[in-house]
Amino acid sequence: MPEPLSREEFAVLVKRAGLDLTQANIDDLYSAWPHIERFTAMLRNPARGREAEPAHLFRPLNPEGV
Amino acid sequence: MDAFPTIASAAADLAAKKISPVELTRHMLARIAKLDGQLHSFLMVTEERALADAKAAEARFMAGTPRGVLDGIPIAHKDIYGTAGIRTTAHSRLLEHNVPAADSTVVRKWAEAGTVMLGKLATHEFAMGGPSFDVPWPPARNPWNTEHFTSGSSSGTGAAVAAGLILGGTGSDTGGSIRGPAAFCGIAGIKPTYGLCSRAGVLPLTYSMDHTGPMAWTVEDCAILLQAMAGHDPTDPASSTRAVPDLLSGLNRGVAGVRIGVVRHFHETDHKVNATVQKGIDDAVEILRNQGAVIREVTLPSLVEFQAAGFLILISEAYALHEKWLKTRWNEYGELFRDRVSFGGLISSADYVEAVRRRRELQQAVAAAMAEVDILLTAGAPTEAPKIEGMPKWSSLEKPGFTIPFNLTGQPAMTICSGHGAGGLPVGIQLAARPFEDALLLRVCQAYEKATPWRGMRPAMAA
């Protein structure tokens, strides 16, 4: 699992997202951020090959638009 | 008239002309006027529209041309379902004055079936989580004890059905928003197979996990409502082109030979349920076994794996929908919605893609397990409803819920009442079937419901 984000690094993420939050808002979100880090880490599966489980299958529309 | 008519019983009384649609509608409007001040299940009561609908239904009955079993039946819609000329707010300040020009497909289909629209029902803001106390309307209260939560987000539908203010209503379910209120309010609610019912005209929470579906007092009533809302809709790109299954003719066929897989680790290890919920599950297993079902134990990936993929997909897609307003109108949202969804702007595109890849793997794991069973059985919720005040803000992140697995897989899942615990508050079991086997799911739920006494018990405040 990667190093947890510091509060300052988290604030940069918020700013990059374009959210204009107060410090209290940022602190509140940061308090729950470990849950999100836990979830994102859980989804990284080193055993999953690069080609495995395509997330999105693109299918061209037929002439009827379906 | 029954004190608490169901759709099936009211339809029989209407057909026999024991009551008229106008009498039935006035009865429901009187109940709303008497009780909803305590429940807040309605955001708007459309009395004039309801009486007009009822008079039109009455004319059809008098002419001998009723439209079917739903003609003259009073219902209401969750306030994310677009209703032409009638305010549709998503329980949010941002849409406080939103009046759609057209009905959503499901609203139109139920209207064409002859239903009487009583009004628009409370949700949680934009159909996510809750409860919130900083939005323009209060959250709905649980009729079994108004100090307790209804769950959400189809909170108004759950409360109004349980209290006998409506005979059925619409819900939507992205992570459990039909099945959660069904468990906490002691009613029946089905999240149909993804694509069976149109989402067109319904305010979205996500692009890939939203389902529309019915909620009612009984399994039979849910089947009646679902039959009228299912079907291909070319205006919803996710809509299935399969023929609508017959959900009613086999409803009472029983469960002999049906293979039921109990996902014991979900409710005994992954998120241990309380004693009342556990007893409800154990009793359900015995009831279904005694009726001829074959009971097995099934192992699936851990609940937390479904939670991780499901939550990240949900917040990513919801953030994409709300990004512009979160950047410009942050303070107009309720705190709970904006804070949860904002995480979607903070994770990476790779996180989202990995979540969707994991979704596919989870879907395949469940499909493989269901090669050996026809139905899955687990909890609908871990406990009875908690008190509505003082719920921890991030509690939904701490322990995984029981419902989101089937939003990820798209298969049909239903929660029904399985008993009552502390203070008489109800608990629920959840059953799921393979995709497009909604009829089998309803049949198994019906067999359980008919063998238990729970449909004879209503909240004391509703008497």
Q: Domain residues of chain B, as ranges?
A: 22-304+352-462
- Interface probe for B, chosen from A12, A22, A37, A42 (most Cβ of B below 10 Å), is A42
The Cβ of residue B278 has, within 10 Å, a number of other Cβ atoms equal to 16
Residue A4: pLDDT band by 50, 70, 90 thresholds?
Answer: confident
Work out the pLDDT band at B3, boundaries 50, 70, 90. Answer: confident
What mean pLDDT do residues B322-341 have?
96
- What is the reported pLDDT for A66? 55
Considering only CA atoms, which of B157, B148, B147, B168 is closest in space to residue B9? B168
B386: which 2 tokens? 């908690």
Of the candidates A13, A18, A56, the beta carbon closest to that of B327 is on: A18
Amino acid B422: pLDDT: 83
Work out the average pLDDT over B181-201.
Answer: 98
Q: Which tens digit of pLDDT belongs to each residue from B194-233?
A: 999 999 999 999 999 999 999 999 999 999 999 999 999 9
d(CA B43, CA B97): 13
Inter-chain Cβ pairs, chain A and chain B, closer than 8 A = 85
Q: Give a yes or no: residue A2 inside a domain.
A: no
* Residues A16-20, mean pLDDT to the nearest whole number: 94
Q: How far is CA B120 from CA A11, B26, B50, B345, in A?
A: 40, 17, 11, 31
What phi, psi does B112 have (nearest 5°)?
Answer: -65, -25
Give chain A positions within 8 Å (CB) of B347: 36, 40
**Structure tokens, B442:** 């309803």
Nearest to A56 among B307, B345, B356 (CB): B356
Q: Which pLDDT tens digit goes with each residue over B255-304?
A: 999 999 999 999 999 999 999 999 999 999 999 999 999 999 999 999 99
Is the CB of residue B178 less than 8 Å from the CB of residue B189? yes
* Residue among B346, B353, B398 minimizing CB distance to A17: B346
Three-state secondary structure of chain B? CCCCCCHHHHHHHHHCCCCCHHHHHHHHHHHHHHHHHHHCCEEEECHHHHHHHHHHHHHHHHHCCCCCCCCCCEEEEECCECECCECCCCCCHHHCCCCCCCCCHHHHHHHHCCCEEEEEECCCHHHCCCCCCCCCCCCCCCCCCCCECCCCCCHHHHHHHHCCCCCEEEEEECCCCCHHHHHHHCCEEEECCCCCECCCCECCCCCCCCEEEEEECCHHHHHHHHHHHECCCCCCCCCCCCCCCCCCCCCCCCCCCCEEEECHHHHHHHCCCCHHHHHHHHHHHHHHHHCCCEEEECCCCCHHHHHHHHHHHHHHHHHHHHHHHHHHCHHHCCHHHHHHHHHHHCCCHHHHHHHHHHHHHHHHHHHHHCCCCCEEEEECCCCCCCECCCCCCCHHHHCCCCCHHHHHHCCCEEEEEEEECHHHCEEEEEEEECCCCHHHHHHHHHHHHHCCCHHHCCCHHHC
d(C-alpha A21, C-alpha A10), whole Å: 12
Complex prediction ipTM: 0.92
- The DSSP secondary-structure symbol of A2 reads P
pTM for the complete prediction?
0.97
Residues of B in Cβ contact (< 8 Å) with A33? 343, 346
Distance from CA of A37 to the nearest CA of B (A): 9
Provide the Cα torsion B437, B443, B448, B452; round to 10°: 140
Alpha-carbon distance values, B228 to B71, B114, B179, B219, B241 (Å): 11, 10, 20, 14, 16
Q: A63 or B150: which carries more pLDDT confidence?
A: B150
What pLDDT, on the 0 to 100 scale, is given for residue A59?
75
More confident residue, B31 or A53: B31
Q: Which residues of B participate in catalysis according to the annotation?
A: 78, 153, 177
Whole-angstrom distance, CA of residue B410 vs CA of residue B209: 8
Least Cα separation, residue B142 to chain A (angstroms)? 28
Query: Mutate which of B343, B353, B363 to disrupt the A interface (most A C-beta within 10 Å)?
Result: B343
Domain annotation covers residue A53? no
* pLDDT for the residue numbered B273: 98
CATH class entry, domain B22-304+352-462: alpha beta
Tell me the per-residue pLDDT of B132-145, one tens digit each, with 9 for 90 and over. Answer: 999 999 999 999 99
Per-residue tokens: A18 = 């374009």
Q: What are phi and psi of B15, to 5 degrees?
A: -65, -35
Give the domain extent around A30: 7-43
Find the mean pLDDT for residues B331-345: 97
More confident residue, B299 or B422: B299
Residue found by looking up tokens 């928003």 in the block? B177
For A10, the 3-state DSSP assignment is helix
Q: What is the pLDDT of residues B234-249, one digit of tens each?
A: 999 999 999 999 999 9
3-state secondary structure of A21: coil
- Identify whether the C-beta of residue B403 lies closer than 8 Å to the C-beta of residue B172: no
Beta bridge pairs of residue B416: B429
CB B333 within 8 A of CB B94: yes
Is B138 in contact with B345 (CB distance < 8 Å)?
no
